Amino acid sequence: ASGRERLLPRLRPFPRPAMDLFGDLRRMNKRQLYYQVLNFAMIVSSALMIWKGLIVITGSESPIVVVLSGSMEPAFHRGDLLFLTNFHNDPIRAGEIVVFKVEGRDIPIVHRVIKIHEKENGNIKFLTKGDNNEVDDRGLYKEGQNWLEKKDVVGRARGFLPYVGMVTIIMNDYPKFKYALLAVMGAYVLLKRES
C-alpha cells in the first residue's frame, strides 16, 4: 500500500461525532467520571459564588445586565454589558442612568432619570426616559403610576463593555443555540482529561 493509503485510516474528522463522545464517557472508569462531575460542579458553584459576591459588593440584585433595546442610543447600544451599583444612601440625580423594574414586567429597563420630585418628608420620586425615545416612560409604568420610587431601582450604570452581551441576546432569540452551547460546554468539562 502507498503512504497515502496508510495515512487515510488514521485521519479522524473534526469535530468528533456525538457517539464518540458517549464512547469516551463509557471508557472512563468510575473514578475518572466522578472526578469530571466534581470538576463541573466546582465550576458551577464558583460562578454562583462570584455572582453572589458581586451582589453583596455592589448592593444590586443584578450587578451585571445586558441592554436589550436601542432606546438608550447613542449612550448605550443593544448588546452592551452594563455594570451596576445600588447603594441606598446614594441619592438619585437627574441625568443618571438607572435600571428599574416595574410591576407587570419581568425584564428590567435601562433609561435616564429626567426629573426628580422631592417631597417634604425627604422621599424622592423620579421620571425616566430613553435617550432615543420621543416621550417619557409613564406609558411603561404600571397603570396609574406616574413616578418611580427608589424601591423600583435595580441599579445605576457605573460602567459598560460594548457589545459583549450580544451572546446573551442571541441565546434568548435562539433557544436551540443556547441548549447546544450548554451541551457542548458540559461535554467539554466532563470529557476533558488532565494531561
Question: What is the side-by-side order of every strand in the sheet holding 81-85?
Answer: 64-66, 81-85, 153-161, 97-100, 109-118, 124-129, 148-149
Among 71, 90, 136, 195, the one annotated catalytic? 71
Classify residue 82 by burial, with Cβ atoms within 10 Å: 0-12, 13-18, 19+: buried
Establish whether 90 is a catalytic residue: no
Establish whether 195 is a catalytic residue: no
Name the β-bridge partners of 84.
Answer: 157
Residue tagged 448588546 (cell numbers): 79
Q: Do 156 and 99 meet the contact criterion of CB atoms below 8 Å apart?
A: yes
Distance of CA 31 to the CA centre of its chain: 34
Among 60, 80, 111, 152, the one annotated catalytic? 111
Establish whether 88 is a catalytic residue: no
3-state secondary structure of 152: helix
Q: Which residues are catalytic?
A: 71, 111, 137
